[in-house]
Structure 1
Amino acid sequence: MGELLRNWRQRRRLTQFDLAEMAEVSTRHVSFIETGRSLPSRALLLRLADRLDVPLRERNQLMTAAGLAPMYAERSLDDPALREAHAAIEMVLYGHEPHPALAVDRHWNLIMHNRAVAPLLAGIPDFLLARPSNVLRVSLHPEGLAPRIINLGEWRAHLLHRLRHLADTTRDPFLSTLYDELAAYPCDDPYDESELSASAHVAVPFRVRSEFGDLAFISTITVFGTPLEVTLSELAIESFFPADAATAQAMRAFGASLEPAQFAGH
């Protein structure tokens, strides 16, 4: 447990003194915990994990390593206990139509999407869409969306930057492996990540060729604000908004062809 705690402190680039001040304990106490000379109470361990912004899944690991019972449940999204959360996700996704929106897990595997996403995935090979379908892989794979993305270099740099940051902060080996895979995909439009900060855009756009013509979107990420369950804490909804008038008009035309959505949140 002490080694795990020290690793998280170092990832956050904090000294023992920094963490002690944040948790309102002595530096000596933090040192004793990290070296195994002292075991913290459940309350103190939770406070330390909170100050270090440790994800709920990893807080359970800290608890187990300290000989304590895990505190945060992990359920399937289909579990009856998550019925209201499931309905809320559907309301966000379908309420965002006619614009695309999708929900992903901690590894960026697709959980759910609204009907505006399907046309963008038309023609993508089954091996990329088979569950668990990874949206980052679908985006950058040479047989996926990559050939259709107009600003592939810029969008690729943006996605790789996000993925590397997430891999660095979580130290999740899956994300590190995924980063290496995606970074190795060919790209005829190389784009240095440092150029993103010098871009003239207010946000990195996603420009893609589709059956509706050339579309441009900017996106937002939505997460549950106060999750106390592992699955919910790791779930994110990415919503895409038109970045120009032509895209807005095309999506309105698509929306006019949709029947009213039927989902659990109704």
Structure 2
Amino acid sequence: MNTLSLAQTAASPASLPSRTVGNLLREWRQRRRMSQLLLATEAEISTRHLSFVESGRALPSREMVMHLAERLDVPLRARNALLVAAGYAPLFRERPLSDPQLAAAREAVELVLKGHEPYPALAIDRHWTIVAANNALAPLLSGASPELLKPPVNALRLSLHPQGIASSIVNWHAWREHILARLQRQIDVSGDDALGALRDELAAYPAPPDADAAAPDGTALNQIAVPLRLRTSIGVLSFLSTTTVFGTPVDVTLSELAIEAFFPADQQTTLALREFASTRPAHEGRGINAG
């Protein structure tokens, strides 16, 4: 399996918030487009008490911070920030993937990636940095610049960068729109400034010189999902993608880990990938530099 130093990847420590817990809770409530009345009703507290917490007139208990964070579906990293802002210790640990306690999680990721062959799959962190990939990813990356394949490798940058695989994407306009929309939803959910910067960077990339014209409005209505159609050394391949996450993580790093698995969208892709897997030498170089 093509592993990008999975056991060596370390999560960066959460930064200490400079805002009050009330301000942070208000920001999360507004991000979720909830009124004080709706949040108070779902949390089974009075609107007056919630107003006092947000304004700083009342300091919430640790249990109340966690209760409100649960109702607001706040990510674990941000829940730690809420606790610290309220004067409490963080509850959720952030371990590097090399930590022995995450050995079972690493093995699960490797099993999923390997088990998905001969179809491509990769594991990414919260900023779309690739931390592991299987051997089937190689034919998708044949046109990418070696510089973009040096770790840390960002999957979205690799996809849309002019020196990445952008010129190989047959439906570049549709795929770009899908990527930017998905990234924006992730920003809306997480409030992550780094993702906002990544979105702006990707949006500024020019279209490849030979990119097909943008599809007319309503074209996507005839599809079940936006496919990735890619010109490769083994032909034009078409994929549908799915995302897998851990269901009940209590570790920050694990909560932010996801597996992107690509499935053939047509018979031609299925046959091409199976043939590639059966003829590829075991010693052949990997598509991404593991560092």
TM over 0.5, shorter chain: yes
SS in 2 for 1:117: helix
Is residue 54 of structure 2 the alignment partner of residue 23 of structure 1? no
The amino acid across from 1:121 in the alignment is: L
Partner of 2:166: 146
In structure 1, distance between residues paired with 2:279 and 2:53 = 61
The amino acid across from 2:264 in the alignment is: P
Map 1:27-176 → 2, pairs under 5 A: 27-176=47-196
SS in 1 for 2:274: helix
CA contact (8 A) 2:143 2:168 kept: no
Alpha carbons of structure 1 residues 199 and 191: separation in structure 2 relative to 1, 3 Å: farther
The amino acid across from 1:201 in the alignment is: Q
Deviations 1:97-122 (A, max 9, x none): 00000010000111100000122112
SS in 2 for 1:199: helix
Tell me the percent identity.
Answer: 55
Q: CA deviation at 1:196?
A: 6.7
Q: CA deviation at 1:198?
A: 4.0
In structure 1, distance between residues paired with 2:23 and 2:212 = 43
Alignment counterpart, residue 250 of structure 2, candidates 228, 233, 240: 228
In structure 2, distance between residues paired with 1:205 and 1:137 = 18
TM-score, normalised to structure 2's length? 0.85
Deviates more, 1:56-65 or 1:28-37: 28-37
The runs of 5 or more residues in structure 2 that have no matched partner are 1-20, 283-291
Deviations 1:238-262 (A, max 9, x none): 10000001001111112323689xx
SS in 1 for 2:159: helix
Q: CA deviation at 1:44?
A: 1.4
The runs of 5 or more residues in structure 1 that have no matched partner are 261-266
In structure 2, distance between residues paired with 1:197 and 1:15 = 36
CA contact (8 A) 1:108 1:134 kept: yes
Cα RMSD for the two superposed structures = 1.7
Alignment counterpart, residue 241 of structure 2, candidates 216, 219, 236: 219
Alignment counterpart, residue 264 of structure 2, candidates 232, 242, 253: 242
Partner of 1:252: 274
The amino acid across from 1:219 in the alignment is: S
Deviates more, 1:116-125 or 1:215-224: 116-125
Partner of 1:264: none
In structure 2, distance between residues paired with 1:31 and 1:60 = 22
TM-score, normalised to structure 1's length? 0.93
Partner of 2:285: none
Deviations 1:144-201 (A, max 9, x none): 1100001111111100111112122222111111111111111144648x94784311
In structure 2, distance between residues paired with 1:104 and 1:199 = 29
In structure 1, distance between residues paired with 2:173 and 2:88 = 47
In structure 2, distance between residues paired with 1:24 and 1:118 = 52
SS in 1 for 2:248: coil
Partner of 1:263: none
In structure 2, distance between residues paired with 1:161 and 1:80 = 36
In structure 1, distance between residues paired with 2:253 and 2:24 = 22
In structure 1, distance between residues paired with 2:61 and 2:52 = 13
Is residue 222 of structure 2 the alignment partner of residue 200 of structure 1? yes
In structure 2, distance between residues paired with 1:177 and 1:248 = 36
In structure 1, distance between residues paired with 2:217 and 2:29 = 31
